[in-house]
Amino acid sequence: MSSKEKQAVVSLQNIKHSYDGETDILKGISVDAYEGDVIAVLGGSGCGKSTLLRCINLLETPTHGEIYFLNEHLELSSDKKKKRVIKSPKQLTRLRSRVGMVFQQFNLWSHKTVLQNIIEAPIRVLKHSKADATIQAKKLLRKVGLGEEFEGNYPSQLSGGQQQRVAIARTMAMDPALILFDEPTSALDPTLVNEVLQVITDLAKEKRTMIVVTHEMEFARKVANRVIFLHEGLVEADGKPQEIFGASRNKLLLKFLQKDARIT
Ligand SMILES: Nc1ncnc2c1ncn2[C@@H]1O[C@H](COP(=O)(O)OP(=O)(O)OP(=O)(O)O)[C@@H](O)[C@H]1O
Ligand SMILES: [Mg+2]
């Protein structure tokens, strides 16, 4: 299939978002992510990176703009309080079951074991049998580099890097069409960052479609096929890694990159 025929997994069209009804945090963002894209999202603190991810899976309903997910238009309308909401709960459930999200703080269920964390959604949402979900979970754990000795552990008995790898396995158990990562390594001890980046790199090799908010410039440069730089709620630069890291003359981007100590 030529790149032109690739399907847009998600298409964002002029997305704006305000939390207070007055100030736009996102000021009109249009981005298409195609099958197999790994899009790194860069930007300073408070520029709207997390808000953008939250708008994609409708944890926040954007106050303006349109979203298409796998060519399906998400129907948004205003409720009685003039808050924008998705019209069809079924469509929301469908979207949520196909979009995975990995958070900075892992967000594992602390009262469930590693295995229970992974099989919960496939059983409840996808109606898989417990036996099938367990076989799949074990495979995914091996894939993220965790042996069976971890299956019965609770999250508090794992390192941050191990917890994040379980969180990624949990997301993969739903076989998502799109995975959103919100600074997946920012909460980790520096010695544990690479083990998580390696798992994300492996997913990129499998051509998983991913949008990754990150401050890891080396990772963005090597693993992403496209980099977006956000500034004050707008896409300030958008291009291939070699363009963003090598050739861009955008002053705001250059200032951001110079300030980031991790780029060498
Ligand atoms: N739930 C919320 N209610 C009100 N304002 C919010 C909320 N979440 C974020 N904001 C504001 O929106 C702006 C963008 O926040 P966001 O979390 O999207 O930034 P970010 O780029 O992810 O920053 P960081 O790199 O620090 O994670 C900030 O000014 C923030 O204070
Ligand atoms: Mg954030």
Sequence letter at residue 121: A
159 within a domain of the structure (yes/no): no
- Residue 17 structural domain: 3-105+177-259
- Ligand 1: nearest atom to the Cα of 183: 27
pLDDT of residue 197: 97
Ligand 2 centre from 187 Cα, in Å? 12
Residue with CA at minimum distance from ligand 1 atom 2: 19
Residue with CA at minimum distance from ligand 1 atom 3: 19
Categorize the per-residue pLDDT at 87 as very low, low, confident or very high, splitting at 50, 70 and 90.
Answer: confident
223 within a domain of the structure (yes/no): yes
Categorize the per-residue pLDDT at 263 as very low, low, confident or very high, splitting at 50, 70 and 90.
Answer: very low
pLDDT digits (tens, 9 = 90+) for 98-138: 999 999 999 999 999 999 999 999 999 999 999 999 999 99
Ligand 2 centre from 68 Cα, in Å? 23
50 within a domain of the structure (yes/no): yes
pLDDT of residue 57: 94
Domain count of the fold of the chain: 1
In the predicted model, is pLDDT for residue 5 greater than 80?
Answer: no
pLDDT digits (tens, 9 = 90+) for 229-257: 999 999 999 999 999 998 888 999 999 99
d(CA 54, CA 8): 19
pLDDT digits (tens, 9 = 90+) for 138-174: 999 999 999 999 999 999 999 999 999 999 999 999 9
In the predicted model, is pLDDT for residue 9 greater than 80?
Answer: yes
- Ligand 1: nearest atom to the Cα of 233: 14
pLDDT of residue 85: 87
Categorize the per-residue pLDDT at 4 as very low, low, confident or very high, splitting at 50, 70 and 90.
Answer: low
pLDDT digits (tens, 9 = 90+) for 198-213: 999 999 999 999 999 9
Q: Which residues line ligand 1 (CB under 6 A)?
A: 19, 25, 43, 45-51
217 within a domain of the structure (yes/no): yes
**pLDDT cut 70: percent of the chain above it:** 96
Per the CB < 8 A criterion, the answer to whether 49 and 230 are in contact is yes
115 within a domain of the structure (yes/no): no
For the chain, what is the radius of gyration of the CA atoms? 19
Q: Which residue has tokens 């090597």?
A: 222
CATH of residue 67: 3.40.50.300
In the predicted model, is pLDDT for residue 262 greater than 70?
Answer: no
- Ligand 1: nearest atom to the Cα of 215: 25
Residue with CA at minimum distance from ligand 1 atom 17: 50
Contacts of 260 (CB under 8 A, 6+ apart): 215, 217
238 within a domain of the structure (yes/no): yes
Per the CB < 8 A criterion, the answer to whether 216 and 207 are in contact is no
Closest CA to 55 of 47, 46, 65: 65
Sequence letter at residue 119: I
Categorize the per-residue pLDDT at 83 as very low, low, confident or very high, splitting at 50, 70 and 90.
Answer: confident
In the predicted model, is pLDDT for residue 2 greater than 60?
Answer: no
18 within a domain of the structure (yes/no): yes
Ligand 1 centre from 51 Cα, in Å? 6
Per the CB < 8 A criterion, the answer to whether 84 and 63 are in contact is yes
229 within a domain of the structure (yes/no): yes
- Ligand 1: nearest atom to the Cα of 51: 18
Ligand 1 centre from 42 Cα, in Å? 14
Q: What is the mean pLDDT of residues 41-50?
A: 97
pLDDT digits (tens, 9 = 90+) for 213-224: 999 999 999 999
Nearest ligand, measured from the Cα of 47: 1
Residue 43: Cβ within 10 Å count: 24
